[in-house]
Structures are given as structure tokens and as C-alpha cells.
Amino acid sequence: MKLASTLRTQILYLFGLLCIGCSLYAQPVVTWKARWIEAGYPEDSVHRPAIYFHKAFILNKKVKSARVYITSRGLYEGQVNRQRIGQAYLTPGWTSYNKRLQYQEYDVTSLVKTGANAWNVCLGDGWYRGAMGFNAHRDRYGKSLALLCQLEITYQNGKKDIICSDSSWACSEGPIRSAEIYAGETVDARVQAVYDKPVRITNYPYDNIIATENELITRHETFKPLPIITTPKGEKVIDFGQNLTGWVMVKARGKAGSVITIRHAEVLDKAGNFYTENLRSAQATATYTLAGTGEELLEPHFTYFGFRYIAVEGYPGELNPDDFTAVALYSDMKPTGFFECSNPLLNQLQHNIQWGQRGNFLDVPTDCPQRDERLGWTGDAQVFFRTAAFNFDVKKFFSKWLKDVAADQRADGGVPWVVPNCIGYYGSSAGWGDVATIIPWNMYLVYGDKQVLENQYTSMKGWVDYMTLNSNDDLWNKGGHFGDWLSYRSPDDDGSDAITDKYQIAQCFYAYSTQLLSNAASVLGKTEDVKKYEALLSRIKAAFNREYVTASGRLVSNTQTAYVLALEFDLLPEQLRPTAARYLVDNIRAYSNHLTTGFLGTPYLCHVLSRFGYTDVAYQLLLQETFPSWLYPVKKGATTIWERWDGIKTDGSFQTERMNSFNHYAYGAIGDWMYRVMAGINTDSSAPGYKKIIIKPQPGGGLTYCKAGLQTQYGSVSVHWRIESNHVVLDVEVPENTTATVYVPDVKGSVIKMAEVKSGKHHFE
């Protein structure tokens, strides 16, 4: 056994003092002694079985500590002496691999031993070379899987050793016969990895390898089956009661060669049959062939599913609920927010919003977890950001992803539709590309850390300059745009579709992004840029008013989204704003108190209503139970947020299978209004990150109480209001080292008292 000499121990911690802003960062840097290795045999290019790598080594001395540094082109799972390395899944995560490839570091001291050791690592296609994106193309980042890993050992006598991936490793196929994100996984437990093939050294670069910044994907909640269903078609179906993202652990005993097939679905159709058409081409199937060795525990490794139901075929014997457990997988973000009120439907909505987040925060913020898409859609992410940051601590999750946004941004500043951009560039869309400014600025507001603005400033500026480049006379009126995606369309074709002109929308986002860039420049002390972009902003607004606004404040597109965006982003002159807000309310009334907004208008709809004194109308929209509304899906039994307002139509039939996800968080953006306006928890932008807190609850909608809280970096802020004999009783909790301005409301939501308070618990009535 050839052991690397201690002299080669090259994992250097360079505690480089990276002085950025006023914060000091200690950055561990790995010097890789390991070589990239890949399978040294011709692969089955159709099924692409996982590749199993192996290294046997002997340690002669007592080990004090052992650490693994590992990454891969493809997904990896490793074991030392048959014990899993770490608790993370789908590692090394998903980034713009060719520019930024994360490695992970694990303490494996308890796994190694003096004497003979075995280190195994298995690689699957994953996002790297599995079918992804439109037309499910394979090989988005490269054609072959490769492994890079090193194990650094410190002996009790202080000496060091290193075991690296190199030509001394062996490899072979093994039980995982195929695995892809959309297709699922096929495991034949009869096949064992025998490691009888050589590996090949490859010359992939090292300079794109980076430390992991965010929380890895880990296992979370588990669910047991509800009573087993036999559908009208005779399928054996298990309902886990919750639409979730992850997979099902199965226990089975059977003859060698018996095949169990598990298909996944989010919903049953009107007749009660298993429905998978909305997964489009995603097979989303786990297939297990038993080894016949007694009780076998089965679960996939390099895939995941978005599902509530599974259809099981080939299971030996009766289906026993004890043998099936669904497990939720998502990035290990710390839960930070809670929200509860006197309306059970709203509590279910909050539940659905949180589960939409859990199901779509798997290293990257994805649009959906089930069909052949599951991509980092930029628009969806920006729409949902503020809500996400209430429910979970997403600081690291988004600082990592924003770096991929910057990495995948084009030289002309264009931002691709999805990040990591595995689908190619089709131009930039308003409301999608603005992720480059909206998330950094809002991250600064909620976490109070300038670093994100430093990191993203070039990207923010690039995006605004891109829009300028594509403008004529300060009007951004070029290119293709998604517009107010999935806004209301009349099921009766009665001409009431709520379509907003796409260039009118584009102009609103052009203004908003320019405003945010100028805000960022001001925080970072870039005075020249502040001047430049403030001047640009005035021209953009003037152009908007020339092109899209009548003298009385009516907009060219007379839709809710049109008014919402113009008002939210301050595009109209002061004197026209109240009239425009009135037009918005008139429009809502014209739809019998229903919203008609799509992805872009929805997040701001209730905020704009509240800002202009129509919180009562906002409550009417929020509490609306008929289509289109937030509670309509809740009434239809949703356990997550749907992609469309009418994913299941009033007659029980489905919207088109071409686009009908039942786990799409975008419309969950209402959560932000629930926390910020209903409960009234907000940060003061003059002291962001909740250093100064504004507590301004606005009761309404006939609710009798509301309780909400947020774990900020200073500690917990919470609000509890309740209505007792026609007046409001308010309890607030303000964290250490912060101050709060509390606005005490009456039962109608009007402010009756204001108080400046320090940390502690405060009671008002």
C-alpha cells in the first residue's frame, strides 16, 4: 500500500485576511494534491450506471484526526469502511460548475481505523451530465463523471498522511444501474461493485473549485402513509398527506430478482386515479431489484421527486404502511419565522408557503421539484425572496446562488432565465433578470450586511446597463419578455383576461432596478454612480409617463398588475398616485373582489393596497375563497402553492398538463404581506437587518388574532395581537441591541398610539 508521505500533506489553511468592507474573513483554501479520476472502462452510454470508485489503504499508527476534502463532476456519495461520509445529499450541490464547483469537507475521524481501511465513492449523473432543461438534454456541463478527493490524516504522534484520488484507485459498475434527476433511479441490489477496472487520470482544472458557502441538502421531516388506496384503475397508491420533495424509503423482503417500481405523483385526478401527465417527460420512477437477502432497505441516491402519492408495483406481499416512509430533502436552512392567525385557511396557506419553500430550496431556488424542469428560474426566486427570508434563514443559500447569477451573467449584462444556466441564453426578461438587483438589495435590508452589495455590485450594475443598452429614448422596449406570467385568463373566454403590456412592465422593472442600484451605490459610498443612476431614473420615469400614462393617471394597460407595479416602484408623479390606486381598487371590484395578477404583480398587490389606505381590500383578496385567489387552492386541498391559480379547475379537471405544477412557490409571495402588514413586522431601512424594527400590525378581515415571529440576527422579534371586547391587545417582543417603533392599531387597523421601545417584552392595549 503506497501511502502519501507527510511531506505531501498539502492542505493548507491560508487564513488570508480578506478585508472587504469592514469585515475580516478567514478563508480556508485547499491545495489539491489529489488528481481528477474517471472510469477507465467504456461506459454503457444509454443507461449510464453509476461509477463506483475504491481505494484500500492501511494506517499503521493511531489516528488523531481525519478529514476528507471531496468534489466531483456529477453527484457523489462516499463511504469510509462502509459508513456514510457526512449527512448531506446530492453533493457537491449545483453551481455554474465550469466556473464554480464546490468542494465539501468532512470530519471522518470516527470512521477510519488503525489497520486496513476502505474508501468508496460512488458517482451519479446528477445536474452535471444527466438530462436537464428543455428537451431534457444530457451532458450540459461535460460528458464524463470525475472524482477529486483527498483524505488528510493526523496521527496521534503529530505526523501526517494524505490519501488522494489518483491512479492507484480502482472502479467498476455497481447496484445503481441508472440515475437521473428527472428519470429517477434504478437499483439492482444483486449487482455488487467489484472494483476490477482501472481509473483514468484526467486533467480537469482546479481553479474553478471553491469552498461550500451554503447549507447542504439534508434529510428533514418524514411522513407515514395514510390508508392505502386502490384506485378505480386498480393501482395501489400510497398517500403521504403532504406534497413534498425527497423520496420514499422502502423496506421489502422478497426473492432475488423481484422488481419493485415506485412512481410519483402530486395529485390524483377527478376519478381518483394516479396522475402523472403534469410531470411531462419526467419518468420520476424508482425501480429496485431485490437481492433476496432478507429485509432490504431501499432508497435512491442521485435523484429526487416532487410528490404526495406513490403508485407501487411488484411489491412482494401486501403493502404494509410500516414499510414506507417519505422523507423530505432540502437545504438545511434554519427555520426563522412563524405565522398563525384565527383563520384556519390562512394557517393552511402559510403551511403551503413553507412547504413550497422546503420543496424548492434544494441548493438552488427551483421553480418546481417534479416535472422535467426543476430549474433555478430567476423570476420566481426574486418574487419569493422576502417571504423566503421570513420563513428560513436564507442568507447563505442566496449569497451562494447570487454568485452563480453573476457568474452566468453575460458580458453585456444580460441575465439568463435560469441560474445555473444549463439551458443556454435566450435573451433577458423583465422581472426575471431583475433578480440581479432585487435579491441583493432585499438581502441587505433583511440581513443588514453590506457584503452582499459589495459582492453583487458589478452584477447589479451590469443588469441596469444591459437595459440601457436595449433602450430607445430611455424606454426599454426591446426583446422578448415573459410579462406578468400566468396572470388571470378567463375560463369563459369572455374577454376579461388580465394581460399587461410587456414593455410597460419592462419599463417598471427598468426603473425599479435602477432605483435599487442607486440605493446600493449610496450604501457603498459610490457617489458618482448615485448621481449617474438617479439622473437615469428620472429619465426612465419621464419616459414611462410619456408612453404609458394618461393625464388623469390611467395606464395604457388597465390591469391590476399595471397599477401595482407603477405604484410600488413610484413611477407616477405624487399627484396621480391616489387616483391610480383608486383605479386599481375599481379593477379589483370589477372582478368581484378577485385578483388577476400573475407572477410579477402578485408580490406587491396587497402591499400597494395597504400603502394607499386599502388594507380592507387587501384582506378581501386574501380571504377570497373562489378562483382566482390564494385560498382557492387551499379549499381544493392543496398542501403546497400551485403554479397556476386554477391548477385544479372548479369542475375538478386539471389545467393543461404542459404546465401545471402543484409545487411552485411564486404565488406564495403573499407571505411577505402576512408577516409585514398583518403581523406588522418590518425592518427600518435606515438601520437594516432589524437593528431598528418597525412594528405596525394592521388587523382586519374579521380576524380575531394574529401571532408571528422572526428570529433575527439579534434574537427573536414577535408580535401577538388579538381583539378583545372591541379593542386591540398587542404584545411585542423586541430583541437585544435593537429598538422598535410600535404603532398600536384599533380594530379597524388605524394607528391610535405610537411608542419607541427598547429590547424586551411590551404590552399595549
Residue 268: count of CB within 10 angstroms of its CB: 18
Cβ 668 to ligand RAM shortest distance, Å? 12
Residue (363 or 373) nearer to ligand RAM, CB: 373
> Cα 581–587–592 angle (5° rounding)?
130
Closest approach of ligand RAM to the CB of residue 485, in Å: 5
Looking at beta carbons only, is 332 or 363 nearer to ligand RAM? 363
Closer to ligand RAM at the Cβ: 183 or 368? 368
Q: Residue 416 CB, nearest distance to ligand RAM (Å)?
A: 12
C-alpha cell read off for 180: 437521473
| 174 vs 379, beta carbon nearer ligand RAM | 379
In the bound state with ligand RAM, the residue whose beta carbon lies nearer, of 164 and 498, is 498
* CA dist list (Å): 524 to 444, 480, 529, 538, 684: 12, 33, 10, 21, 18
Would strands 23-27 and 36-39 be described as parallel, antiparallel, or unpaired?
unpaired
Contact 155, 62 (CB under 8 A): yes
Q: Which is nearer to ligand RAM, 252 or 364 (CB)?
A: 364
Instruction: Closer to ligand RAM by CB, 278 or 615: give it.
Output: 278
Of 392, 323, 325, 322, the closest CA to residue 362 belongs to 392
Q: Which residue is nearest to ligand RAM (CB)?
A: 367
Annotated catalytic residue 373: yes
Q: How many CB atoms lie within 10 A of CB 422?
A: 21
Q: Which amino acid is at 96?
A: S
Q: How far is the CB of 380 from ligand RAM (least distance, A)?
A: 5
Cβ at position 429, least distance to ligand RAM in Å: 7
Residues that bind ligand RAM (CB under 6 A): 367-368, 373, 377, 379-380, 482, 485, 664
Name the catalytic one among 277, 295, 643, 765: 643
Q: Are 181 and 245 in contact (CB under 8 A)?
A: no
Tell me, letter by letter, the H, E, C secondary structure of 450-516: CHHHHHHHHHHHHHHHHHHHCEECCEECCCCCCCCCCCCCCCCCCCCCCCCCHHHHHHHHHHHHHHH
Whole-number Å distance between alpha carbons of 491 and 112: 63
As measured in angstroms, the least distance from the Cβ of 55 to ligand RAM is 42
Q: Least CB distance from residue 632 to ligand RAM, whole Å?
A: 19
Q: At 553, which amino acid appears?
A: G
Q: Which is nearer to ligand RAM, 367 or 672 (CB)?
A: 367
Nearer to ligand RAM, 129 or 481 (CB): 481
In the β-sheet with 337-341, what is the strand arrangement from edge to edge?
337-341, 705-712, 715-724, 727-734, 760-764
Cβ 602 to ligand RAM, closest distance in Å?
Answer: 12
Structure-derived torsion over alpha carbons of residues 434, 435, 436, 442, reported in degrees to the nearest 10: 110
**Would you call 643 a catalytic residue per the annotation?**
yes
What is the phi/psi pair of residue 282, to 5°?
A: -70, 120
Cell numbers standing for residue 409: 451573467
Dihedral pair phi/psi, residue 622, rounded to 5°: -65, -35
* In the complex, least distance from residue 356 CB atom to ligand RAM, rounded to whole angstroms: 12
Cα dihedral: 216, 217, 219, 221 (round 10): 110
Q: How far is CA 115 from CA 9, 58, 61, 81, in A?
A: 20, 5, 8, 11
Q: Is residue 423 within 8 Å of 366, Cβ to Cβ?
A: no
Q: How far apart are CA 534 and CA 352, in angstroms?
A: 40
Measured CA to CA, the distance from residue 201 to residue 168 in angstroms comes to 10
Cross-strand bridge partners of residue 202: 36
Q: Which residues are catalytic?
A: 373, 643
